[in-house]
Amino acid sequence: MKISVLGCGRWGTFIAWYCNKIGHEVLLWGRENSKNYSELSGTRKNQYLELDDGISLTTSLQHSLDSSEYIFISVNSQELRGLAELISKHCVKNKKFILCMKGIECKSGKRLSQVVAEEIGTSSGVAVWVGPGHVQDFVAGVPNCMIIGSEDIGLTKDIVQNLSSDLIRFYYGQDLIGNEIGAAAKNVIGIAAGILDGLDYSSLKGALMARGAREISRLIRAMGGNELTAYGLSHLGDYEATLFSQYSHNRKFGELFARGKKFDKLAEGVSTVKALILLSKKHDVELPICEAVNKTLHEGCGAREALINLFLRPVKFEF
Tens-digit pLDDT profile for residues 229-283 = 999 999 999 999 999 999 999 999 999 999 999 999 999 999 999 999 999 999 9
* 3.40.640.10, 3.40.50.2300, 3.40.50.720, 3.40.1160.10: CATH of 2-173: 3.40.50.720
Confidence band of 6 (pLDDT split at 50, 70, 90): very high
| Catalytic residue of the set 95, 96, 102, 186 | 186
List the alpha helices (DSSP H) in 151-282.
153-163, 176-198, 205-222, 239, 249-258, 269-282
pLDDT value of residue 313: 67
Q: Structural domain boundaries of the chain?
A: 2-173, 184-311
* 157 catalytically annotated: no
pLDDT value of residue 315: 58
pLDDT value of residue 306: 87
192 within 8 A of 251, measured Cβ to Cβ:
no
pLDDT value of residue 131: 97
Which residues contact residue 315 at a Cβ distance below 8 angstroms, ignoring those fewer than 6 apart?
A: none
Which residue, among 173, 193, 71, 74, has the nearest Cα to 131 in the 3D structure? Answer: 173
Tens-digit pLDDT profile for residues 38-85 = 999 999 999 999 999 989 999 999 999 999 999 999 999 999 999 999
Fold of 184-311: N-(1-d-carboxylethyl)-l-norvaline Dehydrogenase; domain 2 (1.10.1040)
Residue 134 has pLDDT above 90, yes or no: yes
Residue 312 has pLDDT above 80, yes or no: no
Which residues contact residue 107 at a Cβ distance below 8 angstroms, ignoring those fewer than 6 apart?
A: none
Which residue, among 16, 68, 61, 15, has the nearest Cα to 34 in the 3D structure? Answer: 61
